[in-house]
Amino acid sequence: MTDAISEVFAALADDTRRGIYERLLANVQGLTATELSRSASVSRQAIVKHLQVLERSGLAETERDGRDVRYFVASEGTKDASQWLLDHAAAWDRRIAALEQKVRSTKKT
């Protein structure tokens, strides 16, 4: 597993960060740390730290809006991690299919 993929999984392993990421996904205009903190159970400063982790992992990007910084989902952020999961899911599908075939051939004898 590459470091970039590890960073994505590590960033999304935290439920607070996953919630922030999901809110960013749902909001095309982006959100500021202040907007995110209004409905959060953690402080604005904690939100900023979570956003920094999302940004470092490639899951979020920023854009200046006057004095504010707006956070958006990075479009390519999950590409490598998604492909890694798809590859491993396909491998498991092949293994299960082979096992099913073996069970069926054993029943016939």
Q: What is the DSSP string of 17-82?
A: HHHHHHHHHH-TT-B-HHHHHTT-SS-HHHHHHHHHHHHHTTSEEEEEETTEEEEEE-TTTTHHHH
Contacts of 32 (CB under 8 A, 6+ apart): 65, 68, 69, 70, 71
CATH of the domain at 16: 1.10.10.10
How much of the chain exceeds pLDDT 90, in percent? 63
pLDDT at 60: 97
pLDDT exceeds cutoff 70 at 76: yes
How high does pLDDT run on average in the chain? 91
Q: Is the pLDDT of residue 2 over 70?
A: no
Q: What is the pLDDT of residue 109?
A: 61
The tally of domains found in the chain comes to 1
pLDDT at 68 (0 to 100): 94
> What is the domain extent for residue 8?
3-108
3-state secondary structure of 88: helix
pLDDT in tens, 33-70: 999 999 888 999 999 999 999 999 999 999 998 999 99
